[in-house]
């Protein structure tokens, strides 16, 4: 059987499995866990352990058709300003709850488009966070930047507030592909944005690309990759286009008949990956690339790569505090997600309570499976000895499943008493293999395809 047919027979094109940015995944969260658990867990944090902070800005001036992020379009700044006021209220509530002396080791602003904020709002927001959770000396501050929605003054404001990493959205540079996803973004504007970010002292710059978009061909993607390489990013995220129009209604504008077919899509991912590794970037996890001296590549090499809602990270803070609509906090006991809809989030905060609306309390079994899945997603290797050291006898719960994976995936995996390792030829199946260890199968949820 040809390799591609073998991958197909193992579900590469048919399986609909999560991307495992958390385990359990957000669709399994329950409304029975909310603000009460959130408040209790935040109050009990150890102030000696720095936390990470994620702040969500759910606004964009344009709404790209392909995008599945939680955001809404606005042509004016008034809803943004009012939302900023709510974030300030949320932070004031947190101030009354968090233990004194807690510090922030990481902060990430995502969206939507955080760079919709004008400079004065950037300063206001950064100040509000700092007042409640002061940063550590070596705090990393990263921001998602839409190159068409930023200027030098905004970059200067972010840099003055300590931004030292940035992630820019590119997706694809081809004009036909851009037109078909409702996102025009000339190369010159992107280049100017990169130059401004570098001049502002950004030392780690990530570029987001997407394969599997309408009208994308090998030649067009090859051209996009060449242009991306001209920008010398330190990291590249190469996401498979998730076509989920039942979740993201704006994707109904995507011309489905122009989407690459299964095998062509798989070939696009391989083509871009080969170009990036040929250019000297190291492949990281299922969809990232990084310069060997970048923190992400160093974390991967030393076994410290982790996966959270932002994707792959070299973040070692165990606690993540999510602020804003839809943000998810990872707390010592489990996960709590703020009300996903902006209006519902605002309503809760204005009523004087935290906005946690759904969540999950982790059992010992969840913690074991979460770490096993994270190991597969980050290292392609489930380290059985490390799980035994961390979880004791409980680790044996996975033995039967490991054996079944060995039988099902044959020589695409190697099973020993030490580890379950995914061979390079089997890595396209990583999400499917990880899903074998998922004990929570949500009802009525459809994920995007696994390839
Ligand atoms: C919050 S958005 C980007 C930030 C900024 N608003 C921009 O447009 O440049 C984060 C990234 O998610 C990825 N993304 C969004 N929708 C996607 C989808 N349907 N499938 C795959 N990746 C997607 C894109 O690469 C995008 O750059
Ligand atoms: S890709 Fe960025 S700018 Fe476009 S809709 Fe999504 S979040 Fe907004």
Each residue's pLDDT tens digit, 407-422? 999 999 999 999 999 9
pLDDT band at 442 (very low <50, low <70, confident <90, very high): low
- Which protein residue's CA is at the shortest distance from atom 7 of ligand 2? 112
208 lines ligand 1 (CB under 6 A): yes
Q: What share of the chain in percent tops pLDDT 70?
A: 98
- Cα separation, 273 vs 281, whole angstroms: 9
pLDDT at 447 (0 to 100): 66
69 lines ligand 2 (CB under 6 A): yes
Each residue's pLDDT tens digit, 183-197? 999 999 999 999 999
pLDDT band at 15 (very low <50, low <70, confident <90, very high): confident
Output the CA 194–ligand 1 centroid distance in Å.
Answer: 18
pTM score, whole prediction:
0.95
Taking CA atoms, 70 is separated from 178, 289, 356, 363, 400, in Å, by: 20, 25, 16, 29, 38
**Number of other CB atoms surrounding residue 393 within 10 Å:** 7
- Which protein residue's CA is at the shortest distance from atom 26 of ligand 1? 169
Q: What is the mean pLDDT of the chain?
A: 96
pLDDT at 310 (0 to 100): 86
SS (H, E, C) 402-434: HHHHHHHHHHHEEECCCEEEECHHHHHHHHHHH
In ligand 2, the atom with minimum distance to the C-alpha of 144 is 2
Of 451 and 76, the structure prediction assigns the larger pLDDT to 76
Output the CA 84–ligand 2 centroid distance in Å.
Answer: 19
Which residue out of 72, 73, 154, 169 has the highest number of ligand 1 atoms within 8 Å of its CB and is therefore the one to mutate? 169
Q: Which two tokens stand for residue 261?
A: 């077919």
CA atoms within 13 A on the CB side of 36: 4
How far is C-alpha 224 from the chain's CA centre?
22
Each residue's pLDDT tens digit, 318-345? 999 999 999 999 999 999 999 999 999 9
Output the CA 128–ligand 1 centroid distance in Å.
Answer: 27
Each residue's pLDDT tens digit, 218-256? 999 999 999 999 999 999 999 999 999 999 999 999 999
In ligand 2, the atom with minimum distance to the C-alpha of 111 is 7
What average pLDDT does range 102-111 have in this prediction? 97
Which residue out of 73, 112, 310 has the highest number of ligand 2 atoms within 8 Å of its CB and is therefore the one to mutate? 112
């Amino acid at each position: 059987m040809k390799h591609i047919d073998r991958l197909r027979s193992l579900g590469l094109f048919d399986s609909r499995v999560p991307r495992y940015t958390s385990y359990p995944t957000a669709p399994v969260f329950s409304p029975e866990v909310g603000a009460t658990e959130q408040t209790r867990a935040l109050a009990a944090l150890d102030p000696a352990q720095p936390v990470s902070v994620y702040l969500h800005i759910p606004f964009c001036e344009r709404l790209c058709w392909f995008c599945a992020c939680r955001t809404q379009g606005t042509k004016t700044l008034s809803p943004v300003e009012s939302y900023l006021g709510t974030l300030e209220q949320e932070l004031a509530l947190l101030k009354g709850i968090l233990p004194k002396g807690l510090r922030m080791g990481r902060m990430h602003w995502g969206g939507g488009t955080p760079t919709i904020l004008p400079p004065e709002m950037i300063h206001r927001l950064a100040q509000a966070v700092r007042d409640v959770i002061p940063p550590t000396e070596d705090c990393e501050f990263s921001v998602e930047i839409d190159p068409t929605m930023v200027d030098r003054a905004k970059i200067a404001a972010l840099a003055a507030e300590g931004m030292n990493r940035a992630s820019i959205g590119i997706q694809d540079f081809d004009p036909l592909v851009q037109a078909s996803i409702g996102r025009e973004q000339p190369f010159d504007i992107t280049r100017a944005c990169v130059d401004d970010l570098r001049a502002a002292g950004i030392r780690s710059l990530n570029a987001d690309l997407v394969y599997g978009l309408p009208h994308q061909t090998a030649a067009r993607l090859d051209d996009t990759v060449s242009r991306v390489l001209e920008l010398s990013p330190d990291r590249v995220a190469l996401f498979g286009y998730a076509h989920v129009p039942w979740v993201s209604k704006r994707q109904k504008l995507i011309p489905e008949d122009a989407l690459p077919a299964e095998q062509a899509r798989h070939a696009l991912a391989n083509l871009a990956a080969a170009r990036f590794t040929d250019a000297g970037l190291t492949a990281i996890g299922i969809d990232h690339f990084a310069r060997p001296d970048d923190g992400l590549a160093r974390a991967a090499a030393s076994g410290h790569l982790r996966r959270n809602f932002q994707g792959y990270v070299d973040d070692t803070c165990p606690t993540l505090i999510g602020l804003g609509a839809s943000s998810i906090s990872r707390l010592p006991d489990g996960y709590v997600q703020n009300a996903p809809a902006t209006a519902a989030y605002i309503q809760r905060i204005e009523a004087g309570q935290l906005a946690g609306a759904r969540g999950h309390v982790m059992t010992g079994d969840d913690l074991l499976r979460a770490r096993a899945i994270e190991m597969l997603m980050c290292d392609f290797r489930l380290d059985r000895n490390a799980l035994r050291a961390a979880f004791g006898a409980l680790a044996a719960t996975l033995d039967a499943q490991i054996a079944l994976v060995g039988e099902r995936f044959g020589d695409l995996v190697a099973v020993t008493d030490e580890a379950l390792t995914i061979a390079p030829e089997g890595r396209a199946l990583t999400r499917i293999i990880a899903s074998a260890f998922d004990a929570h199968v949500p009802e009525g949820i459809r994920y995007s395809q696994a390839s």
